[in-house]
């Protein structure tokens, strides 16, 4: 079974600083997709970034980037120039094409002004 | 597009009552998912459909839970009878079924409280 592990229940960062959230996963598949979702207090699940496993280049979306290490089965999220609006729960997720999406337990990010 | 639409947003009911949660996926999406979120268990997949057909319902907790998708634009999750331990936020999500990094788009969730 595929599992997703987020080992940091909580993280905090100073506004304008950089923070990295960790995620590891377990799979025997070679073709899959990885995602980071953000859940603010409104509880809406919002896609932050996605990565195809067959792509070696790390995905980037503005201040958000990932460090994808396929051999190590690691998929961390880096948030640069943190803003107060980045405060939320962050979920790492794994999906094989057309199957269900599996989520980690989440990391609660606090941004200090 | 209005996104994934869920109703009701909040439901408070008494133990033993029937609860029906509703979901309208994004037009054109042909996969639909029901998740449950609790503090203790996080986000759990309950069931998902491809082209209106249930593919995996192994996450449905017990026979009190049932889900249907009578057409491409509507799905229901029913709990009968409800119990206090069913209190949670229930999310519906939809996506395309095609090769590629298919993102799940989530609804706003239905917060259920069973007294």
State how far the Cα of B6 lies from the Cα of A107, in Å rounded to an integer: 26
| B40 preceded by a cis bond (ω within 30 of 0) | no
pLDDT tens per residue across span B37-93: 999 889 999 999 999 999 999 999 889 999 999 999 999 999 999 999 999 999 999
Tokens of B33: 């998912």
Show contacts of A51-60: CB within 8 Å, 24+ apart: A51/A75, A51/B101, A52/B100, A52/B101
A50 touches chain B (CB under 8 A): yes
pLDDT tens per residue across span A53-100: 998 899 999 999 999 999 999 999 999 999 999 999 999 999 987 788
Nearest to B102 among A43, A45, A97 (CB): A97
**Chain B residues 86-115 with CB within 8 Å of chain A:** 89, 91, 93, 97-106, 108-109, 111
B25: exposed, middle or buried (C-beta count within 10 Å: 0-12, 13-18, 19+)?
buried
B14 touches chain A (CB under 8 A): no
Q: Which residues of A touch B97 (CB under 8 A)?
A: 98
State how far the Cα of B15 lies from the Cα of B8, in Å rounded to an integer: 18
């Amino acid at each position: 079974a595929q599992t997703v592990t987020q080992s940091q229940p909580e993280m905090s960062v100073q506004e304008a600083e950089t923070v990295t959230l960790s995620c590891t996963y377990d799979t025997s598949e070679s073709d899959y997709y990885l995602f980071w979702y953000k859940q603010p207090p409104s509880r809406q699940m919002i896609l932050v970034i996605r990565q195809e496993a067959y792509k070696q280049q790390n995905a980037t979306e503005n201040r958000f980037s990932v460090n994808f290490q396929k051999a190590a089965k690691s998929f961390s999220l880096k948030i640069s120039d943190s803003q107060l609006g980045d405060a939320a729960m962050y979920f790492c997720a794994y999906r094989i094409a057309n199957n269900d999406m599996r989520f980690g337990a989440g990391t609660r990010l606090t941004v200090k002004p | 597009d209005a996104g994934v639409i869920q109703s009701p947003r909040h439901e408070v009911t008494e133990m033993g009552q029937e609860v029906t949660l509703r979901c309208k996926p994004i037009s054109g999406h042909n996969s639909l998912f029901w998740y449950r979120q609790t503090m203790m268990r996080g986000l759990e997949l309950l069931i998902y459909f491809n082209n209106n057909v249930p593919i995996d319902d192994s996450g449905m907790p017990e026979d009190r839970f049932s889900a249907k998708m009578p057409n491409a634009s509507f799905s229901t999750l029913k709990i009968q009878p409800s119990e206090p331990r069913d209190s949670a936020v229930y999310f519906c999500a939809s996506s395309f079924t095609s090769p590629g990094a298919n993102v799940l788009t989530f609804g706003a969730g239905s917060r259920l409280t069973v007294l």
